[in-house]
Structure 1
């Protein structure tokens, strides 16, 4: 529901889904609740508050320990809350502070085929974050800068109790000084209590050729910090963490174009990504558990295409068609010798997605298909079909 007044708006959403699943022990029961409030103090100051809760309970057949987890179950509860404000300090300067909190509880029960009570895995995590961002408009573009701090902890039956802090500072400058050329350059400086200081620069640009065609390009660097699971998991005989795992460091680049002409859009790009200290779960001996390790370098080259066509049949009827294709060629360099790996052979190679959406007055039909082929294993199709009818403020689907 929505409640709107002159200087404040409130919205509350609730949802409940239940299904018996598409195969044995894949049933689920989901509950969602979300609130958002906007408070306009005056023309220059605004406060936005949000809170949410989700609870998902489902059968976990084949999720983590196939084929022995046929009867396993899992329950996940998540609570989110945030408050932020926007302050227009002048015609050039805007300030946006934000506070947020996230709590997650995960209860996984492994009911094996041989040992019905083989394992219970419970995790409770808390994450607190505070950030301030600001923008300043200059005569030639816009300068952005900000800072954030985050504290996270975990209390787990098979990971233990751990805590870490993270701080980051960023600055970026976007200019449209040139008539057809837009440039956005910046850097992010990160401090982690476990891995200390790192800096990650990046730049992207676009150049318009006429009104319909635009060339795009980007260069950037990034990092993935090991999760608590990567570091400390103790789930013998299946998996164990490794406290010596180091963060992944990545360099990525992309070049392509975008075309938009009335009701037709098409874009394509070539991309390159190099991940150093790639984290994988591996083992040398079949009788040992899988363990997280930095196993080498993963290099991915790929290309993607995406097109969309929109046709308005009349005022209350329209047709949308979209088609996309991605090709990824992943190579592994300087890899450690392993007997088995969880991720090296599961990388995606080909993906095709297609959606057809037709709307007539308050009635709609949606057909979505997806094709996936990985480096190893059989390819597969996923097809979704949805009918919906809106009646006043209700939608039946």
Structure 2
């Protein structure tokens, strides 16, 4: 009923406006966007995959205060937050769990050997992001292991002109925060530095948080062929974790510090492109079961990832050939997991060729060596066919792969036991889709299929006692088949007059079927917690040529969990001007819901703020 009501609401709102809307100066023609995949860059209109691009304009106008909240409006992406404003969230794609999604910043992999719970500890303020590329489906051939069900690449840019952006806000639950982003190029040396801080007293007991980010990026153009880039980020987040991992201890508390640094060199001349880079990521995690009694139960983990990679491509009359090699060491020092390390080597090869003016084929393989598991090989292929200038058909196939985290292998406490004998997960993936892009309309229809072997899940025997006294144990106990459809529609309406103009309409629906095969008589923790039905709808209108209204709604139904409906709204005044104001209201319908763990998410809450843009 709520779905029908929402559709009627949007339809009535649309039909009540007569209009025309000017092109926003920050809007992006996706046909001009090149999807960054480290070796072969492909224009958005030519890629034979289901890829969503969140543009800078989307980021600025979405009612959201974090990357996680922005992604929650992306079709096919399942964002399960513990708290708000990016405190902690798990990201799933196409029914995959949070361990099966790879996060990247400018192509740099944010792997965390401890647990996928820390993958969203991203040290980049929202205001520094130019766009976000969301690849749905297997990414192992492109990005390596752990891009099991998809990958999300966060793209930043280095402006060539000086600028200063300042933003501040406040709101319910004692929320306050702000950011400063400054671009200070000096000749051929480009650089940006940004800082942000968000804090709140919390919407319920022991849900307060503080999140701070510092991000620096620089680039030096040595000559027309060679460029050097450097990047450094730091994130500090401390929060009350009531209900994050158990509902028995309401005083849980966690503190995380994440460091990220990289140095890269790019050679780009004529038909040859080569990029070499080294990077390091450290995550420090302190978790207390009782906030003010660290002696009762405390886990301390320090994980490090050091990597070196070389990627390149060469364009010839036979197409584009991409090659790459990478090496990485992952280590952890933990009072619970012990002192451990593992090494890995990966090699990539792929080729893309165009057959005539309508057909293109891309195929490749990723070969992986891990110190524990030896060599594994993951092939994949894509084919696209242009029916005409507006319609494109495509299909692809790929093998995906994920190694277990140290938490799955070695973590133990009163409720969980470990399993050091886990095997990697593997999946076979197929996809077929249709894209339409003409004038003001962009649409996509996709069917996907994924068969997962050796799925890692926590299970335990059932018990007549309540609560169940048996421990959870991870194991390769399940086989799961996921298949579903994904639809998306974007329409640039341009209806209205100088007072009220409807600018954009968007709608998406995603459905996932999951078939689980596992031993009888066990209770599963994660295998069937994925999305079943997801509706996302949005409108954007301009008011009196100075204000923008963005209204977005979501209906989410997960397997074995209660469905819920959310609506968020944002109004921007003078967003593109020197001084602007904005107001946001989240959960306008005051819905009671839980996304992850045992965390009751907040009801209706409002924020308001200002922005200053100097160029």
Query: TM-score normalized by structure 2?
Result: 0.61
- What corresponds to 1:290 in structure 2? 472
Offset from partner CA, 1:330-367 (integer Å, 9 cap, x none): 0012x123431111231221111223233565643332
Give ranges in structure 2 of 5+ residues lacking alignment.
1-181, 463-467, 583-608, 610-615
Distance 1:116 1:78 in 2: 21
- What corresponds to 2:192 in structure 1? 11
- What corresponds to 2:578 in structure 1? 392
CA drift of 1:110 comes to 1.2
Aligned counterpart in structure 1 of residue 505 of structure 2, from 283, 298, 321: 321
Distance 1:215 1:260 in 2: 12
- What corresponds to 1:161 in structure 2? 339
Distance 2:236 2:261 in 1: 15
Aligned counterpart in structure 1 of residue 425 of structure 2, from 231, 243, 248: 248
Aligned counterpart in structure 2 of residue 301 of structure 1, from 469, 479, 483: 483
Instruction: Note closer, same or farther for the CA distance 1:312–1:5 as it changes in structure 2 (3 Å cut).
Output: farther
Distance 1:31 1:170 in 2: 36
Task: Work out which structure has the larger RCO, using CA pairs closer than 8 Å and 6 or more positions apart in sequence.
Answer: 2
- What corresponds to 2:306 in structure 1? 128
Indicate conservation of the 8 Å contact 1:45/1:85, yes or no. Answer: yes
The answer to whether structure 1 residue 99 and structure 2 residue 282 are counterparts is: no
Distance 1:85 1:359 in 2: 43
CA drift of 1:3 comes to 0.9
Q: What pairs up with 1:55-74 in 2 under 5 angstroms? A: 55-65=236-246, 67-74=247-254
Q: Between Structure 1 and Structure 2, which shows a larger proportion of helix residues?
A: 2
CA RMSD of aligned residues (A): 2.2
Offset from partner CA, 1:297-341 (integer Å, 9 cap, x none): 1101100111111234699977222111111110012x1234311
Q: What pairs up with 1:196-345 in 2 under 5 angstroms? A: 196-235=374-413, 237-285=414-462, 286-312=468-494, 319-333=503-517, 335-345=518-528
Indicate conservation of the 8 Å contact 1:49/1:84, yes or no. Answer: yes
Aligned counterpart in structure 2 of residue 30 of structure 1, from 211, 232, 239: 211
Indicate conservation of the 8 Å contact 1:278/1:296, yes or no. Answer: yes
Distance 2:319 2:498 in 1: 39
Instruction: Note closer, same or farther for the CA distance 1:352–1:142 as it changes in structure 2 (3 Å cut).
Output: same
- What corresponds to 2:156 in structure 1? none
Indicate conservation of the 8 Å contact 2:274/2:311, yes or no. Answer: yes
- What corresponds to 2:533 in structure 1? 350
Distance 1:319 1:82 in 2: 40
Q: Between Structure 1 and Structure 2, which shows a larger proportion of strand residues?
A: 1
CA drift of 1:278 comes to 0.5
Aligned counterpart in structure 2 of residue 52 of structure 1, from 233, 236, 253: 233
Distance 1:3 1:156 in 2: 40
CA drift of 1:128 comes to 0.4
What secondary structure, in the 3-state scheme, does the structure 1 residue paired with 2:322 have?
strand
Give ranges in structure 1 of 5+ residues lacking alignment.
none
What secondary structure, in the 3-state scheme, does the structure 1 residue paired with 2:408 have?
helix
Query: TM-score normalized by structure 1?
Result: 0.93
What secondary structure, in the 3-state scheme, does the structure 2 residue paired with 1:239 have?
coil
What secondary structure, in the 3-state scheme, does the structure 1 residue paired with 2:407 have?
helix
The answer to whether structure 1 residue 75 and structure 2 residue 252 are counterparts is: no
Indicate conservation of the 8 Å contact 1:60/1:69, yes or no. Answer: no
Instruction: Note closer, same or farther for the CA distance 1:394–1:30 as it changes in structure 2 (3 Å cut).
Output: farther
